[in-house]
Amino acid sequence: MRKPIIAGNWKMNNTASEGVALVNAIAPLVKDANCDVVVCVPAIDIPAVSEALKGTNIGLGAENVHFAEKGAYTGEISAAMLLEYGVQYVIIGHSERRQYFGETDETVNKRTLTALKAGLTPIVCVGESLEERETGKTEAVLEKQIKEGLAGVEDLTKVVIAYEPVWAIGTGKTATAAQANETIGFIRKTLGEMFCPGCAAATRIQYGGSMNAGNCKELMAMEEIDGGLIGGASLKANDFATIVNFDK
């Protein structure tokens, strides 16, 4: 059985003090969760949130990591910097990074390999645009992202995959539970062909397209869906806790 993982992606929201207040509100609501719980926070919030999470069952994640150990990369954050503050997870290749900041399958691959080498768990995002879905290119796009983004990975089970249909992020649109399950099933099949069926069966794949307090139970009831990468709903303690406690 794959243990579900619910991860909040705060994006560019919450100052350090606001972040501490949010995790202080979330922690008692999710203390008995039957899944892994993670908050992925802006880099500047990491030191304060790391302290606030001590003694809780909530893991700490970053929203990006650079592929170099150190050097002339103004504005970037290295794996070693994250590790010093107890970061365990890192989001890589989010659609917003691809759309606004030039992230490519090649750089996703480099960041993923760097994260794994450092002992971080990468949450690798894949997903298609509305145009790609409507023109029947979903599977081709996902296959390319998976094969190029995960090239050279030795142990697939140390990676979390997040399927985030770009057309369903921040738009209020959501794939139906059946659509999400079918597409994640294709991702798992592709992983099985690239690595091995057993590896794919053991790898957790989240849904990241506007999962919220209202639709989480239906989505999480799907056989292929192992959790969620949560955007807007992760900024509200009660909503995030409802998703985390989807099985109660």
Catalytic residues: 94, 164
180 touches 206 (CB < 8 A): no
Tokens of 178: 């059946």
d(CA 140, CA 239): 34
Residue linked to tokens 């409507």: 134
Joined together, the tokens standing for residue 51 give: 């302290």
Least Cα distance to 56 among 81, 88, 80 occurs for 88
Cα separations (Å) of 208 from 50, 114, 196, 237, 246? 24, 23, 24, 18, 15
Burial class (CB in 10 A: 0-12, 13-18, 19+), 203: buried
Joined tokens for residue 88: 């365990």
